[in-house]
Structure 1
C-alpha cells in the first residue's frame, strides 16, 4: 500500500536526483601531458627571465656594521639618480622573534591603552615590573624590552634627509596601539610610534629585515653620509659576540614581486627545468607508445590476412 508521505518525499526521476548523470573521466595521454608541461615551461621561463632582468635593474646597498664607541659613519655613493622610492631597512641575523616565550611576552590590552594592574600582566613574564617592583612597565614584555633602537641619520651635502615613516606597517594595526588616555608624553616608550609598531610584528625566521623608512621621491645622484648611533640597552651590547648575530644597514628599491630578491626567479627556473625534463620523458613515452600501436596494428593486420588466406584455400 502506498503511503502519502512516502510518495510526497520520493525524489523526481531526473538524472541529477537519481545519480544517473554522465561522468567525465579525462584520460591524459602522453601527448597531452607534453603540451601541458610545455605551456608551464614557457610561463615559468618568462617569470625567470623577467625576475632576473628586474633584479639586475634594481638597486641595493647592504652593509654590516658594528659601531665602535656607539657610533659609526660611512659613505654611500650613487652612480645614477633613482626616481623610484628607495626603502631603508635594518637587518638582524640570529634573532628569533618567533620563539614561543618571546612572542607571548606581551599584553595586548595594555598595548591598546587600557589600564591593567600588575597582577593581570602574567603574559608579560618575566618583564612585568620596572625592576624596582613598585609599578609595572609600560609597555611590558620581552618584545617591547628588546626593541631595536639604533638610529640612522643620512646626510646629502651636509643636509639631513629624513625618510617617510608613513605606511611602514599595515594600517589596521593602528587601532591596536594606543597610550593610556591618549597621552604618550609621560610614557617610557611611545607605543604609537611607527617604528615601535613595526618592531612588535613578529618575523618567521631568525634572519630578517624591517622597514625603517621610505624615500618616496627617490634619491638623486651623489655621495651620502650615513651616521649610525648604536643605543646599547638591556644587554644588547653582548648581542653580536655571544649569539654570533649581525646587524645590517640596507638601502634598496623594490621589484614587481616585492622586495629585491632572487627567490622567485630561482624557484621559477627550477620549475621550468623540471617541466622540460618531464616533457622529454613523456615525449619518449609517447614515441614508444606509438611504436607499440604500429607494431600491434601490423601484427593484427597480418593475422587477418593469414586467416583470410586460409579460408580462401
Structure 2
C-alpha cells in the first residue's frame, strides 16, 4: 500500500534546493572576494603594438583640433567691452590723493562716461564689475561669515565667526561678517541718446544660493550701523533671498582678479551706438591699490569670452599628432614585429668565454 506524504517530500526538496543555492551563492561570493584580495580577478590587459599606439595618438589629435577650432570661434564671437573707470572718475585736483577723495563723503562721486559699441551686441548683454588686486580668498575674510545666520536670521545666536562685524551697539548684525560688510556699492545707469536702457537685476545669482543658503524670512538687521561703513546698505524690508547683489558678492572668488554679475541689458545694441554711462564711484579700492572696471559682454553657447579652452584643445591635438608622426618614423626606421621578443634584455644570452 502506498502512502501519500501530503506534499512534504516536495517541500523538503525545495528547501534543500534553496539551501544548496544559498551555499553556492556564498561560496561564489567568497571566491570572488578571495580573488579580489589576491588580485587574481580576470582583467583586460591589452598589449599595445606600435601601430595601435600611433593610431590612437593620431585619432585623438584629429578629434581635438576641430573641437578646439570650434571652441575658439565661439569665444571670438563674443563681443566684450572693458572700461576702467577708477582713475578717470576722480577729479583732476584730487588724483594725487585718491584715498582722501573716496573717504570724503562731502565730495560727489557722480561720474559720466561715453563709449562706442564696436559690433552688434545681441541681448541679453551681461553687465559685470571687475575688481583687481582684491583678495577675497584671504583666510580671515572667507571665515568672517555665518551660513546658519544667513538661513535662520536672529534665531541663530552663535555668530562669533563673524568678528569683528558680529555685533553693533549691543545687537547682532544680520548679515554678519566682513564679506557682507564690504558689499560692492558702485552703481551704473545706461542711456542710448535720451532713452535709458533698462537693467534687469533679477536672476543674477545662482538659484541654489537663493533657495537654500539665504532665508526667505530673514531680513537685514542693524547692518552698516557701526562707526565704520564698509560698503553698500541693504533694504531692511527685503529678505536676504531677494537681495541678489548680496548673494552674488558673498560667493567669494578664488583669484585676486574677478568679475561679478551686476545685471543684464535686455535689448540689442547696434554697432556705432554711443552709450552714456552714469555711475557712482563709491567703492574704495584705492586703499589697497585695486582697480575697478565695467564690463559689457555678450555670450555664446560656450559662455563668455575665454580663449584658453580652444587653445588648449588645439595645442594638445597638435602635440599628439606630432608625437604620432615621431613614433611612426621611429617604427619605420627600427621596426619590431608584434610578438618578437628576441631583442628584450632578459632574453639576451651571455657571451661565451
Normalised to the residue count of structure 1, the TM-score between the two structures is 0.78
Give CA-to-partner distance per residue, 1:238-294, whole Å, 9 cap, x none.
x33x4332111000111322221111112112212321232122112321342x559
Residues 1:83 and 2:122 aligned together: yes
Whether the 8 Å CA contact 2:77–2:300 is kept in 1: the answer is: no
Q: SS state of the match for residue 231, structure 1?
A: coil
- 8 Å contact kept, 1:91–1:210: yes
CA distance in structure 2 between the partners assigned to 1:55 and 1:249 by the alignment: 20
Indicate the RMSD between aligned Cα atoms, in angstroms: 3.2
Contact 2:143 2:162 in 1 (8 A): yes
Offset from partner CA, 1:167-196 (integer Å, 9 cap, x none): 2111121132237x5556996524331111
The alignment partner of 2:199 has SS state of coil
| 1:140 aligned counterpart, secondary structure | coil
Structure 2, unaligned stretches of length 5 or more? 1-18, 91-107, 224-232, 341-353
Match of 2:141 among 78, 91, 102: 102
Deviation of 1:21 after TM superposition, in Å, equals 7.4
Call closer, same or farther: CA 1:224–1:120 in 2, change over 3 Å.
same
Q: What residue number does 1:276 align with?
A: 321
Which TM-score applies when normalising by structure 2? 0.70
Kindly report which structure 2 residues correspond to 1:254-273, keeping only aligned pairs within 5 A, or say none.
Answer: 254-273=299-318
CA contact (8 A) 2:126 2:298 kept: yes
Look up the match of 1:302. Answer: none
Q: Does 1:166 align with 2:205?
A: no
**Residue 278 (structure 2) aligned to one of 227, 248, 253:** 227
- Ranges in structure 1 where 5+ consecutive residues have no aligned partner: 297-313
Deviates more, 1:69-78 or 1:91-100: 69-78
Other structure's SS at 1:226 match:
strand
Indicate which of 49, 55, 58 corresponds to 2:78.
58
Distance 1:109 1:17 in 2: 45
TM-aligned CA distance change 1:114 to 1:138, over 3 Å: closer
Matches within 5 A, 1:1-313: 8=23, 11=27, 23-66=43-86, 67-68=89-90, 70-116=109-155, 120-130=158-168, 133-175=169-211, 176-178=213-215, 181=217, 189-190=234-235, 191=240, 192-221=242-271, 222-232=273-283, 236=284, 239-240=285-286, 242-290=287-335, 292-293=336-337
**Residues paired across the two proteins, number:** 279
